Structure formats: structure tokens, C-alpha cells
Chain A
Amino acid sequence: MSRVYLDHAATTPVDPRVVEAMKPYWTEAFGNPSSLHAEGRRALQALDEARNQVAAVLGADPEEIVFTAGGSEADNLAISGVLGAAGSRKYHVVTSAVEHHAVLYTCQFWLRQGYEVTVLPVDEYGQVRPADLAAALRPDTALVSIMMANNEVGTLQPVAELAALCRERGVLFHTDAVQAVGAVPVHVRELGVDLLSLSAHKFYGPKGAGALYVRKGVRLQPLIHGGGQERTRRAGTENIPGIVGLAAALRLAQAEMTERTAHIRSLRRRLEEGLLRLPGTRLNGHPERRLPGHVNVSFAGVESEPLLVNLDLAGIAASGGSACTSGSLEPSHVLKAMGVPGEWIRGSVRFSLGRENTEADVDRVLSVLPGILERLRAISAQGAQSRQ
């Protein structure tokens, strides 16, 4: 059975052109960039070039880019790096209730170390209100970390406005842009952020490659100590194939953003309209200010777990909630923070479209869903009866 992949927010297939760009760096140009010889120089040249390319796309200077092993490491480095370097008089950090666990759990880690954490609420669409942030800032606030786009519902935050507030008050601002980079324009100077995380596998690059933008002048304590790589901010021999792939994928995403977005948006319109035509369906997230590929919907009277299993068995990959270590689903903290009622949270599913999806993919989802929903609702009605 052919598969329909609608889980691009989880990960994306690597673009064959990116694979091509990475190819020389496995066997042929395998050198260690720290070596003095020709092999090392070739690898270092690839690293420099990748850094220049990433910086150019983000509107940053090359020395402001720190390559990491992915988005979670970038988030950890941003928060722990800033707090670790901030000194003992700055022990307050502000984040939002809808952050990725890489941010939330890192903040919780610091909470256990005696730091104070303010978790800002969000509105029904998942957006932070700038006034809430302004009220939360304190003289001892070291860092504010608020994501650019939410991974579950796709809602975009008013990052530029939030960052400006922080700058006025002399507080560092980090944004987890893992979902946003590659999908919407991201320019660090226009956003006015001090730190920004990204991850290659979300935009058709390889897994295990990410980056943190660190504005010049921001002091950062490394998470990984060792050699002097990444200007001593991230020790360890660089993942050259991964970094080359990251840069190639980012350049392609920027170059093709207009057409990709147009394609994905039109598919999403088709999918969203079709889904919302089904009875007992609601859209989660901001109707407009949202990533182009995200559709998070809830189905009344349906549990998302059997729904996702049914879709999978019918050849359709989607997701719901956040997966825990073993792969089973936990209720979404994002929808909870948005005030979505419990019964809608239980029936929530995220479809995230990508560049290789077609209208036929969308139509297949829309054709198999009604039957699945009908069966699930019939069974849950039976279950409710038998429990009485």
C-alpha cells in the first residue's frame, strides 16, 4: 500500500539534492576540520562555507552561528548557556506554557537548581500576550525563551514584538524557531532576537544537525566541554556531512520558499476545508497566524490514539499529542494551555503537510476519515452504554 506522509512537523525526508551535497563528506572529504593537513583544510573549508551560508540566510554573521546536534541541544544550549554565564544576580527566566519540552524541561531543570521560572499563559489560539510578558520581566530576569512557531498547532508568536520588549528592558531573548525555519522567513536582525534555535531535519535536511544563533556579545557557557570547536561554545569534532546538509537544505528552503508555501497552502486549504466540513470537528490554533503546513483538528467523541492507528493502517501518517519515551500518547500540554476542553484534547490530531504532498494525498485522507470516525463514534457510544 502506498503511504501518505502528513507528519512533516515531526520530521521530513531529506531532499535528494541535500543528500548529493553531503555525499563527498562521508568517505572522500572525511577530514577533521581541526587538523592542519590538506584533509583537515578541506573539511574546514566545508564547515566555513556552511556557516557562511546559514548566516546569510538568517541575516547573521558567520561567527554568530553555533552548530549543534539538533534543535533540542540548541534549546538547551541557549537556556543553560545563558543562565550558566549570567552570574548569581540573574536567576529568573520567563517562558511560555506551549513551548517544546526541550525548552520547558530545561527551565524546570533550572527551577530545581533554585532558579525562578515564570511560565506565561497563552490565549485560545496559543499566542502569548505581549502585556503578560512585559508584566513578567524583572530586574533579575536573565532570559526570555518563547518559540517562534508551535510544533503542535503551528501558531506563530509575535516574536518581534516580544523581543523588542525584552531589548528595552535589557533582557536576553531566545526563540525556538525549529518549526519556523524553512517554513517562513526568519531574519534574526528583523526579529531582534538574541538567540535562535533551528534543526535541519524539519526542512528536508539530515537528522542530528542543528544550530543556535548567538548574537555577538551574548555570553554563553558551553554544555559540552572539550576542544575549542565552535569558538569554545560547543566542543566535539564537527558533524561535517550533517552541517553541510543543514546548510544546503536551508538554502533550498529559502530559494524555494515562495513556491513551496504556495503549494502547501493550497493543499492545506483543501484539507482544512474538507476536515471542517465533517461534523463534530474543530480547528486548533490560530486560523491565520500559523505555519503554512499545520492543521490541528479535534474530533468530538473520538480518541486520537485509535484514530491514528486506523489512519496508519490505512496508509496515512499523522500524529497527535506528544509522544512519550515508549511512543504512546500523552495529552497535549499545548492544547491544555490554550484552554481547549478535555474531550476535544483527547480527540486531537495533527496533520502537517510538506512539499512532496499532492492533492491526491489530501483527498485520500478525506475519503478514509469519515468511515473511521463513524466506526469509532459507534464504538464509543456502545462503550458509554455498557458502562451505564
Chain B
Amino acid sequence: MGSDRHTTPEPVRPPVSRAPGAPRVVVAMSGGVDSSVAAALLVQQGYECIGVTLQVWPSDLPETEREGGCCSLGAVTDARQVAWALGIPYYVLNYQEIFQTHVIDDFVAEYRRGRTPNPCIRCNKDIKFAALLRHAEAIGASHVATGHYARILRDPASGRYLLLRGRDRHKDQSYVLYSLDQEQLAHILFPLGDFTKDQTRAVAERLGLRVAHKAESQEICFVPSNNYRDFLGRVAPDVRKPGPILDTAGRKLGEHPGIAFYTIGQRKGLGLSYCEPLYVVDLDPERNAVIVGTAREVWRAGLLGSHANWVSVPELAGPLKVEVQIRYNSKPVPARIEPGPGPGQVACYFDQPQRAVTPGQAAVFYQGDRLVGGATIERPLPVTKAS
């Protein structure tokens, strides 16, 4: 990063057209280039923007533990200076308690149950687009804006708010937003929905934003160095609970230090020698066992999802052809979904078996760019049900 990046950038002047009663928008600023440009674009579009950073960490944590994450002190420093350069008010809001109870506690509890949670989905659902939306309303703002790469459109035919993939497919973040309901979508702005990452950086550069060349943060904001095992061991020492590693026939092959340290499909770190490579195929909290199997046994025909949320349709009435994504970065694959046995459940059958269906992760359904809905993966379904 060149030292010229530290020179004071030219403030972005709001357009002359800005009316005194311009809509007030709260922009969640993480200190990264995306949310910074999102704020800049909204200012240019004439919105009255208020920048906020959610402080989700105890402020008395040692300095070294707080670096890097999206809401760390360093993030606050960057977000604050971008907000100042844009000429908008900026606040750091204390979200420690609610973030702990809704995101971190849930994250730990899910691992305890042998599941692999996606805390960003939880944070979007309960924090950014729930608590913060109420907070925004409380300060007289009609919308919350973020730097997510996704688009919200209103379907003139059905009147529903649609969630579309970001124009930049490599950056698309609609997956972590599937759980938003219509009320939430009606009050959200994603200014970067039509942008590519390169365009975003170009805007940041043109505006002289100090974060234009900041590296991408891909990690979970509250897990230092992306090492979730260390994090779990520290905040929930009880997850260190040794147990057996079993094969799918129930034979004991070894010992594990705690099922929370494993994830479905994992091959490394099992410490087993066997005639063919072994993978984690199941985590059984009842028996406190890690179940391993051969490569073939990691492939699954379908999944059962729970807590389904529907976006492009009001509900899932019958079978539907979709593409499903079972992990944040996985390729969408063709599948058929249909209502599951219980309320809020959905059954999904892949056209071709998929590797590592992981309970706790989300299955998100699309039709092209359009997000149909999504659900939390409860368990794999073994065989394709004939329809």
C-alpha cells in the first residue's frame, strides 16, 4: 500500500439535487472497501447517510485479539475516516450483548451438536437486518444499507421483493441473505448489487477512499486467524470431550478430541491409517462419535432442510425445479425441492449426488439469478424419492 493512500481524500459532495427531506439511510460500515463504496454511492445518490459500525466485541479484549475482523478496532478506525471523508455522521453502536446471544452462543451450540454453522447468515438475519433495522428506524431512517453483492427488486406481477444474485457472480453474497423476509427486504439497500468488485475498487480509487486497496476479509469476524477450533476450545472448553472415531459399520478406528473440531467431508487431521482415504461422513452427538467413511460414502442424494424461508414465492406449494447451493462457495447444482414432512421443512433431491451435505450449513435454492428460498440443512437424505 503506497503512502499516498493516507492523504486526505476529497470529500464527495452530495449532488445539488439533494432535497432537504432526502430519505435517511443507515449504512453498516465495516471499514472495508465494499461498505465504504456503498456509503459513497448512496451519498452521491442524494440519500442522507448515517454511517454505523456495530461493535460486537468486548472492548476490554487485548488489542491483539481484536485485529483483522470486520468489526475490530482497526475496522472502526477505517470506517470512521471514510465516513468523515464522505461528510456523513458516524456512530459505533454497542451490539456486544445481542451478538453474543444470537450469533456466538448459537455458533458454539451448533458445533456442540455436531453441526457446522454459518454465523454470517445468523448475523444478517438477527443483527444487521433485524436489530440494526429497528435501530435505524429509531433514528428516523427508512433503510439499512450494506456493501453486500446482491440485488433487491420488486416483482411487479406478484408485488414481492425479490433477492437476486449480485451482478458479479464471483462476489455474489445472496447465499448469506436467503433468510431475509419481505418486511426486511423492503427496508434494505444493496448499492453494490450491479457492481463488480473491480468497479467497486475503481470507485473507491476515484474517490480517494483510504480503503481502496484494503485486502479482502474472508474470515468469520469473531474468530481470530480463522481458527475456529482454537476459538471453540477457548470460549467453550467443554467441547474438548474425547470420543471414538467409528466407521459406518460401527467399528472403532481411533479417538478424537471432541466432535466440535470436525466437519463433514473433512479428510485431514483424522490420524487414521486405512487402506483407502477416509472422510468424516457424520458427527453423532449422542454417541459423541466421529463417523468416517470412504470417498463414496461422502456423496449424498439429497437433504432435509428446516426453518425454510421463501423469497421469490410466498411458500413452497409443490415440487419445484431449482439449482441448489449447499455451501457458500459451492457451485449451484440442479435439484428438485418439495415440501418436507414437518412445518418449515423442505426436501431437496439433487439431480446428481453431492459431496458433504453438512448439517448446520444452508441450502439455498435459485432459479437463475433469482433466489427462491433456503433452509438450514438438518440431515442428508439417502435415496432419491421417486416422484
Contact = CB atoms under 8 A, between A and B. Distances in A.
Contacts of A303: 138
A330 interface: yes
Nearest to B71: A326
Interface string B30-73: 00000000000000000000100101000100000000000001
Interface stretch (A279-287, A347-355, A375-383): A375-383
A189 to B, nearest CB: 39
Contacts of B59: 324-326, 328, 330
B73 A326 contact: yes
A329 interface: yes
A327 B137 contact: no
Query: For A306, A326, A382, A383, which residue has the most chain B Cβ atoms within 10 angstroms?
Result: A326
A313 interface: yes
B361 to A, nearest CB: 26
A310 B73 contact: no
B135 interface: yes
Given A305-B135, A309-B91, A375-B140, 16 more contacts: A306-B135, A309-B139, A312-B89, A313-B139, A324-B94, A325-B59, A325-B73, A326-B76, A328-B55, A328-B91, A328-B94, A330-B59, A330-B94, A375-B138, A380-B138, A382-B134
Interface string A317-361: 000000011111110000000000000000000000000000000
Nearest to B134: A383
Interface string B106-138: 000000000000000000000000000011011
Contacts of B91: 305, 309, 312, 327-328
Name the residue in B91, B93, B138 with the highest tally of chain A Cβ atoms < 10 Å from its Cβ.
B138
B94 to A, nearest CB: 4
Contacts of A313: 50, 89, 139-140
B92 interface: yes
Contacts of A309: 50, 91, 139
B134 to A, nearest CB: 5
Contacts of A329: 94
Interface residues of A, number: 20
Nearest to B56: A328
Contacts of B134: 379, 382-383
A181 to B, nearest CB: 29
Interface in B138-191: 138-140
Which secondary structure characterizes the binding site on chain A? helix
Interface of A: 303, 305-306, 309-310, 312-313, 324-330, 375-376, 379-380, 382-383
Contacts of B135: 305-306
7 contacts: A305-B94, A306-B135, A310-B140, A327-B76, A327-B91, A376-B138, A379-B137
Contacts of A305: 91, 93-94, 135
B202 to A, nearest CB: 30
A328 B92 contact: yes
Contacts of B89: 312-313
Interface in B69-95: 73, 76, 89, 91-94
Contacts of B94: 305, 324, 328-330
A306 B55 contact: no
Contacts of A325: 59, 73
B92 A326 contact: yes
Interface-central residue, B94, B134, B135, B137, by most chain A CB under 10 Å: B94
Contacts of A376: 138
Nearest to B76: A326
B139 A310 contact: yes
Nearest to A382: B134
B138 A379 contact: yes
B51 to A, nearest CB: 11
Nearest to A324: B59
A313 B139 CA distance: 8
Nearest to A331: B94
Interface string B317-359: 0000000000000000000000000000000000000000000
Contact of B55 (A310, A326, A379, A383): A326
A378 to B, nearest CB: 9
Contacts of B137: 379
A212 B123 CA distance: 48
A257 B326 CA distance: 71
A313 B94 CA distance: 18
A306 B139 contact: yes
Contact of B93 (A312, A328, A382): A328
A5 to B, nearest CB: 16
